[in-house]
Amino acid sequence: MHDTSKAPHPQDGIQSGDAAHSHDQANDQGHDQALWNADLAPTPLSERTWDWKAFASLWVAMVVCVPAYLLSGSLVSEGMNWWQAVLTVFLGNLIVLIPMMLVGHAGAKHGVPFPVLLRSSFGTVGARLPALLRGLVACGWFGINTWVGGSAIYVILNTLSGQALVGAPLPFLGIDPAQSLSFLAFWALHVWFVRHGTESIRWLEMLAAPFLILTSFSLLIWAWVEVGSLGAMLSNDSQFAPGGAREGQFWPVFFASLTAMVGFWSTMALNIPDFTRFAKSQRHQIIGQALGLPIPMALFAFISVAVTSATLVIYGEAIWDPVKLAGRMGGLGVVVALGALVIATLTTNLAANVVAPAYGFSNLAPGRISFRMGGYITAGIGIAMFPWKLMESAGTYLFTWLVGYSALLGPIVGILIVDYFLIRRTDLVVDDLFLKNGRYSRNGGWNKIALLALILGALPSLPGFLHATRILNSVPPIFDSIYSYAWFVGVGVAGGVYWIFSRKSKGEASCRS
């Protein structure tokens, strides 16, 4: 049985005019104030202005960032050569593109953000848990990226002033005054965009995307000219080849790395409805994402590997950190390179790490917390976590951090896709998503089946995670293997459990009726 009694009529992937209420009209229909505010309400047709170019620009602007640049470096340091690293990045992003489009379908069809979509599967109250989990992960990334951007500003200022701003570390903080002010300045820039909402973010992404593409290729050309040939830039051999240091170990490393690559954007695979709710049609969100994610990610990975290999020839050491590389370039080049890095970090941080927690925190108390206030909370947590201290001990974060949270977020993806496509066949009664006593408010607003599926989906990866973080000294090898596939295991187990128990629950309900 599907939710069709009040289902919207799709019109090229857009909800019909009758169903796409304006924010004020939606509240007039008796929606509960504990579940509704203007930011969470379905997006009206007049605000669905994002075409495929906007989505492609969104992804290009998010792809060009420091963590993405470091991804390929982490793979080469694990023993891969350049084409193995680039191929792994491409495959990981091709895989995560599938749930990105599937979950994004709900936003484009019904105009609802991620926390509201969660209510159909987790319940009107239970949805707060996965939304909060997604939001807290984003807060971690927000702090890290804000520190990276602030560090770039700090290097620029010292380059222009002849290192005049380098000072003694402040008590408790552990960073000098200029570092602190650079961090706060970059943080304040985020707050400005939060204050002006998602449309200002779209404007920034559209403006930044071509500039970031040009800057990335300029960096590649610079390295090519300095070294003299592309062959010299890509000369590193795979350690997995016969006679290599890690001969015969390729596949275990590949699958663990593939999971990390999927985990990198698994956060956006969840909250992509926060953006596709503004899509002109399904076609625009699908084409835009297909063009904007896998290929640009692979190209950026190639640039990362090639430029870093070139630094071995130019400077005598492999420099994977683009901030450090820009500092070594000297002259006007450092200002241009780091300026581009600041813009790249800002665009990624706003889209990937501000929008999701802003909506998530708003969902906790819609009557009191707007999108803007949720963004301010995110920014506050970004300062409170002292990201520079986090980065000090985060040498292996690309694997421990990425694979670790993918084990938690993968089950949510599996539950969302099964609920939306297999159980509800893409039909939602949007009004009931905002009602305490609607069809999504069973058991006091909690869907126990979704909670069970979430727990069982994450549980198999827990021993491997505890081993990876050295909380446990050893676990049976099978758990390390499962952890290498954490996202895939989470999606499969949680999705399967949710499907089986939801079908069983529907069968029992039909028998009672």
Q: Where are the domains of the chain?
A: 10-512
3-state DSSP call for residue 447?
Answer: coil
50 forms beta bridges with 279
CA 417 to chain CA mean position, Å: 17
Phi-psi sector, 470: left (phi>0), alpha (psi -120 to 50), beta? left
Summarize pLDDT for 362-417 with one digit per residue, the tens: 999 998 999 999 999 999 998 888 888 766 644 455 557 667 888 999 999 999 99
- State how far the Cα of 380 lies from the Cα of 214, in Å rounded to an integer: 33
The count of other CB atoms within 10 Å of the CB of residue 438 is: 18
DSSP 208-219: HHHHHHHHHHHH
**Relative orientation angle of helices 250-271 and 66-77, to the nearest 10 degrees:** 160
Residue 204: per-residue pLDDT: 87
- Spell out, as residue ranges, where the chain has pLDDT lower than 70: 1-29, 390-399, 401-402, 507-513
CA–CA separation, 68 vs 348, rounded Å?
10
**Could you write out the DSSP letters of every residue in 334-370?**
HHHHHHHHHHHHHHHHHHHHTHHHHHHHHHH-TTT--
Q: Which residue type occupies 209? A: A
d(CA 453, CA 498): 6
Q: Among 1.10.730.10, 1.10.3720.10, 1.10.4160.10, 3.30.470.10, name the CATH number for the domain at 10-512.
A: 1.10.4160.10
CA distance 76 to 73: 5
Q: What is the pLDDT of residues 51-75, one digit of tens each?
A: 999 999 999 999 988 888 888 877 8
Burial pattern 80-116, b for ≥16 Cβ within 10 A else e, equals bbbebbbbbbbbbbbbbbebbbbbbbbbbbbbbbbbb
pLDDT confidence of residue 391: 64
Task: Answer left, alpha or beta for residue 128, where phi above 0 means left and psi between -120 and 50 means alpha.
Answer: alpha
pLDDT at 239: 87
Which one-letter amino acid corresponds to residue 407?
Answer: A
Sign of the Cα pseudo-torsion (2, 7, 9, 12, in order): negative
Tokens of 462: 């827990």
- The single-letter DSSP state of residue 472 is S
- What is the pLDDT, as a whole number, of residue 401? 67
Kindly calculate the radius of gyration of the chain based on its CA atoms and give it in whole angstroms.
Answer: 23
pLDDT at 6: 36
Instruction: Give burial (CB, 10 Å; 0-12/13-18/19+) of 228.
Output: exposed
Cβ neighbours, 10 Å, residue 504: 11
Outline where 228-330 has alpha helix (H). 230-233, 250-271, 273-276, 282-292, 294-314, 322-329
Task: Work out the widest C-alpha separation in the chain, in whole angstroms.
Answer: 79
Which residue do the tokens 């827990």 mark? 462
Please check whether residue 272 is in contact with residue 102, taking contact to mean a CB–CB distance below 8 angstroms. no
What is the reported pLDDT for 502? 95
